[in-house]
Amino acid sequence: MRFADIDSQDHVNNVRFLDYLEDARFGMFHIDPYNAGEEPFKGLVVTRHEIDYRRPLGFRAEPVRVETWVTEIRSVRFTIQYEIRDDSDVYVTATSVLAAYDVERAAPRRLTEGELAYLKRFS
């Protein structure tokens, strides 16, 4: 949480929560595969976000975490769920649908076997 995330009502602005979700997705699909010696996902696009704000989150020194897991896997797309929370409260629940994307062709593509196996570890 950054001080700049706080709005005039002294809590994290709703738009900033989407940044937190993006940071969690990046960690799940780009940073961790590099550290584990795996190939990162190439060409993922978000096709849908749904977010529910459960309670306000004010500026504080204690961290919150974004818990993320996969709920559905299809041949081209998959769905992930999130909770932004601490040990006692859930501040946000959210869902994103992501699709595999071929950047060179500018078109959807099928998930590779390696990507499917990676996703199944989080389901």
Q: What is the pLDDT of residues 41-57, one digit of tens each?
A: 778 999 999 999 999 99
Is the predicted pLDDT of residue 35 greater than 70, yes or no?
A: no
The answer to whether 107 touches 99, Cβ cutoff 8 Å, is no
Question: What confidence score (pLDDT) does residue 40 get?
Answer: 66
Name the more confident of 87 and 2.
87
- According to CATH, the topology of domain 3-120 is Thiol Ester Dehydrase; Chain A (3.10.129)
For residues 119 and 25, what is the distance between their CA atoms, to the nearest angstrom? Answer: 12
- Work out the average pLDDT over 85-92: 96
For residues 63 and 1, what is the distance between their CA atoms, to the nearest angstrom? Answer: 7
Structure tokens at 15: 């738009």
Please tell me whether residue 121 adopts helix, strand or coil conformation.
coil
Banded pLDDT at 88 (limits 50, 70, 90): very high
For residues 42 and 28, what is the distance between their CA atoms, to the nearest angstrom? Answer: 13
What are the pLDDT digits (tens) for 1-21? 666 777 777 778 888 999 999
Contacts of 29 (CB under 8 A, 6+ apart): 40, 41, 44
Residue with tokens 């040990």: 87
Please tell me whether residue 91 adopts helix, strand or coil conformation.
strand
